[in-house]
């Protein structure tokens, strides 16, 4: 079903450093259920630590926790999806939410995704690029300034293959290596105002390898070294002023450097969103 569009095009907002953008947070999959309709995430529990740390660091913009399961709780907004709702469809719904609340008013946003949430973001921007001007099912454009992902399976994950075999859920199928969704999704998809991507992974993550977590064309890539406890569910929570060991690339992985400022993962996300022109 198409959603009502606003004006044909709002003036494109400029890219500039700052901490006042609204930030969307998109959670990951919840797949260990006997029924696809039992999936549920608590947005406050998933994102509470990250949001608190970003506030402590100085972020002033609104935080929007966006849920996609019918049973989700404590989310700013949610849609009534389940484990059989395709990621492309979730991306479409996210794109409309961003458009109706921000883009059509000439406002830009930043987006942060964990695990499958990063692929929902990727689908939102890809779908607008592919269909926005030709289909009323998608908005014509969205304004996303920065996108940051934590342990998102850009090239798929073996757990998704196992999940598909055990449960046949479409969201698991979409995240299998070589899936139709991953073939469809864009490499470094860009919103109308251009979008700066930062992909973050960790050597300790047993669910999504660091190679998959940075497995899309993107200017900024970060891999945290093993032995620091940054597992799949915890990487998005790690903030504060502690020192961390990682390597980073600011040229799509062509060259890598060891620690620069030794930011925690959430603090790295803060810097990625704060200073897009210099980042």
Please check the confidence at residue 222 and state whether its pLDDT lies above 90: yes
Q: What are the tokens at 198?
A: 């930062």
Q: Can you point out the beta strands (E) in 70-203?
A: 77-81, 109-114, 144-150, 196-202
Q: Is 279 exposed, middle or buried (0-12, 13-18, 19+ CB in 10 A)?
A: middle
User: What are residue 185's phi and psi, to 5 degrees?
Assistant: -65, 145
For helices 265-274 and 43-57, what crossing angle results, to 10°? 60
**How many other β-carbons are positioned within 10 Å of the β-carbon of residue 237?**
19
Please check the confidence at residue 53 and state whether its pLDDT lies above 70: yes
Supply the mean pLDDT for the chain: 95
Please check the confidence at residue 279 and state whether its pLDDT lies above 50: no
Position 10 scores a pLDDT of: 73
Which helix H or strand E contains 258, and what residues bound it? strand 257-258
Please check the confidence at residue 21 and state whether its pLDDT lies above 80: yes
| 3-class SS of residue 112 | strand
If you average pLDDT over residues 197-224, what whole number do you get? Answer: 98
Domains parsed from the chain with CATH numbers? 22-274 (3.40.50.1820)
By C-alpha distance, which of 182, 263, 179 is closest to 216?
182
Q: What is the pTM of this model?
A: 0.95
The 10s digit of each residue's pLDDT in 118-171 is 999 999 999 999 999 999 999 999 999 999 999 999 999 999 999 999 999 999
What are the strands of the beta sheet with 257-258, ordered from one edge?
Answer: 77-81, 63-69, 22-26, 109-114, 144-150, 196-202, 220-224, 246-249, 257-258
What would you measure as the largest C-alpha separation in the chain, in angstroms?
Answer: 51
Percent of the chain at pLDDT > 90 equals 91
């Amino acid at each position: 079903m198409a959603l009502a569009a606003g004006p044909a095009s709002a003036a494109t907002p400029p890219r500039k450093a700052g901490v006042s953008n609204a930030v969307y947070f998109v959670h990951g999959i919840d797949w260990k259920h006997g029924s696809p309709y039992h999936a549920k995430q608590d947005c406050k529990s998933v994102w509470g630590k990250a949001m608190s740390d970003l506030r402590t660091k100085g972020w002033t913009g609104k935080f929007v926790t966006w849920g996609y399961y019918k049973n989700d709780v404590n989310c700013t907004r949610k849609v009534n999806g389940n484990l059989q709702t395709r990621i492309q469809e979730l991306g479409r719904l996210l794109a409309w939410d961003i458009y109706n609340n921000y883009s059509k008013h000439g406002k830009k946003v930043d987006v942060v995704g964990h695990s499958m949430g990063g692929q929902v973001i990727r689908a939102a921007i890809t779908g607008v690029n592919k269909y926005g001007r030709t289909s009323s099912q998608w908005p014509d454009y969205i304004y996303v300034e920065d996108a940051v992902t934590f342990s998102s399976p850009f090239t798929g994950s073996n757990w998704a293959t196992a999940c598909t075999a055990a449960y046949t859920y479409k969201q698991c199928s979409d995240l299998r290596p070589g899936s139709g969704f991953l073939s469809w999704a864009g490499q470094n998809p860009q919103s109308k105002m251009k979008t700066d991507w930062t992909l973050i992974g960790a050597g300790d993550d047993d669910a999504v390898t660091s190679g998959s977590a940075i497995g899309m064309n993107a200017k900024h890539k970060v891999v945290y070294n093993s032995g620091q406890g940054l597992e799949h569910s915890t990487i998005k929570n790690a903030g504060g002023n502690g020192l961390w060991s990682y390597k980073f690339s600011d040229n799509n992985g062509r060259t890598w450097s060891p620690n620069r400022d030794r930011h925690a993962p959430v603090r790295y996300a803060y810097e990625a969103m704060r200073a897009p022109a210099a980042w």
